[in-house]
Amino acid sequence: MVNNLWEVADAPAVEYMVTFYTHLKAGKPRAEALRLARQQLKSKYPNPYFWAAFILHGEG
């Protein structure tokens, strides 16, 4: 399960989740899908506020 540690603006949060689930659908493990989504969002939004809030809870 993916949790967020703080409230994030809607558009970046949606973008993050769409990217995350796209990677999951492609067969990536959850931890890798989260890492790839983070990398993609980080390149568009360098401020950690937009991408560092999301964590994987449970087994990756």
Q: What pLDDT sits at residue 20?
A: 94
Query: Residue 35: its pLDDT value, please?
Result: 95
Question: What is residue 60's predicted lDDT score, i.e. its pLDDT?
Answer: 54
| C-alpha dist (Å) from residue 41 to 22, 56, 58, 59 | 14, 16, 22, 23
Which of the residues in the chain have pLDDT under 50? none
- Say what the pTM is: 0.85
Q: How far apart are alpha carbons 48 and 26 in whole angstroms? A: 26
The residue extents of the domains of the chain are 2-56
- What are 42-52's pLDDT values in tens digits? 999 999 998 88
CA 60 – CA 50 distance, rounded (Å): 21
Q: Coil, strand or helix: which one is 55?
A: strand
